[in-house]
Amino acid sequence: MSKFEKLIETKLAQNIAVWLFLYFIFITSVQAENRIVTAFYIVLGLMPVVYATNLLVLPFLKKNKALFFGLFFLNALFFTIIIFLIMNYLTKDEFNVVKLINFFGLILLTTVFSIAIKLARDSIIKKQKDKEAELQLLKAQLNPHFLFNTLNNLYGLSVLKSDKLPNLMLKLSDLLRYSLYDTKEKLVPLEKELKYLENYIALEKIRLEDKTDIQFIKKGNFNNQKIAPMLLIVFVENAFKHLNKEGKSKVIIKIESTENTLNFSCENTFDKAEVGKKQLETHKSGIGLHNAKKRLELMYTNNYKLTISDAKSLYLVALKLNYTA
């Protein structure tokens, strides 16, 4: 996040922007000899009532609406009288009921406007926090899911007393190091994510030996691009988990990166009789795919296109992703 974006998100900057906006409105609408000074005093007078309403009165909106509206009008009326008397004293004007009513209307309009802004801001912040909490939950679900599958592989090799077990454990160590320490950020360098995929594929090659044709094809420039961590691994892991057990199997992973987009595809052979068309997403084995879809929707929303299909004995996942700032 840039310094400018951080500045925009601060309450102080937001408050200053709103008051400047109101100040320029008053400059253009107030009828007075010196509009600039008059508009400044109006803004200065409105500040206490606005902050008193937002900090002291607004919290009652959810607790007791009748009490809220009562306090709202009493607060507006109190500050209207106080500010009006002070302004009359400073300008030496005579008491004018019409002017008092107009000023009361101005205060009501301003406080309603300020309440609407605060409610909208609080709603946006809450949605953002909910979104971040859900993303953290999805990532927390994803990592143990991957670890569970990999430990199954380790167990299988330990039963066979394979001499490939030490190398497999080293690969697993690299994978866990990445998943534990490098995936805390919202976005990670694409190069690291691809290195993670390469380690995982190398791990699967050790396990599968020559039973499966495994291809990992990369094309394009991967420098200075970022992606959501552990997003692509879900589809790759799913491909290896559901390979057909009879005959020659294959997994082909292709990644092409341009300046603005990432094109990813993963295809694998599978036994359609064993794995139904929707089983991958409805059974426990579909936790990873389900989470990947939710993360895509949360983080990329309208900046991605995901296609999942199966034809005969070939399962295909295609993802087109627009890089976001």
CB 40 within 8 A of CB 23: yes
Gyration radius (Cα) of the chain, Å: 31
For residue 30, give both structure tokens: 């107030």
- The residue behind tokens 């912040």 is 125
* Closest to 164 in 3D by CA, of 201, 200, 198, 209: 209
Cα separation of 50 and 84, whole Å?
Answer: 16
- The residue behind tokens 């005969």 is 312
Amino acid at 63: K
Q: What is the pLDDT along the chain (325 residues), one digit of tens a residue?
A: 445 445 445 777 777 877 888 888 878 776 767 778 877 877 888 888 888 888 888 888 888 888 889 998 898 888 888 877 877 776 666 777 787 888 788 888 888 888 888 888 888 877 777 677 566 655 655 556 556 766 776 777 677 666 767 777 777 777 777 777 777 778 889 998 898 898 888 878 877 777 889 999 999 888 888 998 888 988 998 888 888 777 778 999 999 998 889 999 999 988 766 555 445 443 444 567 777 888 888 888 889 999 998 877 788 999 999 986 5
Cα separation of 253 and 201, whole Å?
Answer: 10
Cα separation of 87 and 105, whole Å?
Answer: 16
* Closest to 288 in 3D by CA, of 186, 139, 75: 139
| Burial of 11 from C-beta contacts in 10 A (0-12 / 13-18 / 19+) | exposed
Would you mind telling me the total number of residues written for the chain in this entry? Answer: 325
| Burial of 230 from C-beta contacts in 10 A (0-12 / 13-18 / 19+) | buried
Ranges of beta strands (E only) in the chain are 188-189, 212-220, 226-227, 249-257, 261-269, 304-311, 314-322
Intra-chain end-to-end CA distance of the chain, in Å: 9
CB 256 within 8 A of CB 263: yes
Domain boundary assignment for the chain = 3-125, 162-322
Assess if CATH 3.30.565.10 describes domain 162-322. Answer: yes
